[in-house]
A and B are shown apart, each in its own frame.
Chain A
């Protein structure tokens, strides 16, 4: 007797199962509990993690900006000015530094930040004199800076 149909009953049910599972579970290796090992739990956890990562990329930009603003506010209050006053007068004097650079300067170059605060203060005083004096004398140097777009 010859058994010919026996070999037809052996099927390879997909040789790649290990790698397909690893592709997902490797992203969960730093999770807590069984979701870093078991595939069905890991799938759900990894999907959540990716969704949070996507949302977080948009939120990170907001958080960083609020951090810079709070740092600049603290630094300018050391010099007796408030944040909105500082930024408004800097833009009016056409200093186009962004908040990231100004906050880094407040940390690593405190004297340059002091000079920026003085520029803003001078421009503010010129604005007050222009508003209150209403005279025809030239107001000052900083208000005559050409504003770039």
Chain B
């Protein structure tokens, strides 16, 4: 995985999210599981006990529960910027699935690729960015017209 071959991005928040009100970036959660398969045991347990509390705790996220005949249970998370993330939860316990859900809730929908820097500022320079004249002393005196001797000498010529 080279740095040029794989995509990368800078650290950012979605529209300066925490500055004013915090908006949860998770739009929709679809829990796809099977009613009888053994791999969805943890999911079924989570749906019995934890889903309603989760939905009450996060009123801005819509939770869809869809039992289907499927081999691998999945949680599909859609974010406000349109990114879709699928987590496969075969064989996980109810507690592990709630941890997965908290992780998905806390994520913004930005791509999970290499971050170029672990920090970001909009205003990196407070005292003024350096330029070649910052540390040079200013000119000796105020700018005035030339001396009168020089003027008389020029007029004589």
Contact = CB atoms under 8 A, between A and B. Distances in A.
A147 interface: no
B2 A108 contact: no
Interface in B1-33: 1-5
A53 B130 contact: no
A114 interface: yes
Contact of B2 (A27, A79, A109): A27
B127 A107 contact: no
A115 to B, nearest CB: 11
Interface residues of B, number: 14
Interface residues of A, number: 19
A78 to B, nearest CB: 5
B152 interface: no
A interface: dominant SS: helix
B127 A30 contact: no
Contacts of A53: 1-3
Given A78-B135, A79-B135, A107 B1 contact: no
Given A78-B135, A114-B135, A109 B125 contact: yes
Chain A CB within 10 Å, residue with most, of B2, B125, B126:
B2
Interface string B126-145: 11111000110000000000
A29 interface: yes
A63 to B, nearest CB: 14
Contacts of A109: 125-127
A111 B127 contact: yes
5 contacts: A49-B5, A53-B1, A106-B130, A107-B129, A114-B135
